[in-house]
Amino acid sequence: MAETRYTSEHEWIRLDGDLATVGISQYAQERLGDVVYVELPEVGRKVGAGDDMAVVESVKAASEVYAPLAGEVAEVNEALNAKPETINGDAEGAGWFVKLKGVDARKLEGLMDAEAYREYVKGLD
């Protein structure tokens, strides 16, 4: 399985072949609480690193989801429209938001690996 990388904004990204799957971290979904709505981007939309590309709403708050790296939206997780709570059950698996194409794999090195991200969130609590 491809290595998962994390941003300081609590997104994760996993490169698998030509596509990079993006979602929010387990830590982020725990802080949000029960997810009730997701707004996904259009397929074909180009995003830059750090651009907002989706919105996730919970009973507590609404939050932007940012693109960890630049790319083009190749696919969105349509299942989240009917079952946004999937994010609470499997944030770093079935609860993914988008798949990006055209991502520069070398830029993944600039993001946190799982251990660095664990240390990062420890400092937040």
Are 86 and 92 in contact by the 8 Å Cβ rule? The answer is no
pLDDT tens for residues 77-122? 999 999 999 999 999 999 999 999 999 999 999 999 999 999 999 9
Instruction: Compute the C-alpha angle 118/25/104, nearest 5°.
Output: 95
* Higher-scoring residue by pLDDT: 1, 56: 56
Query: Is domain 4-103+111-120 given the CATH code 3.90.550.10 in the classification?
Result: no
In residues, how long is the chain? 125
Q: Give yes or no for residue 12 having a pLDDT over 90.
A: yes
Q: pTM to 2 decimals?
A: 0.95
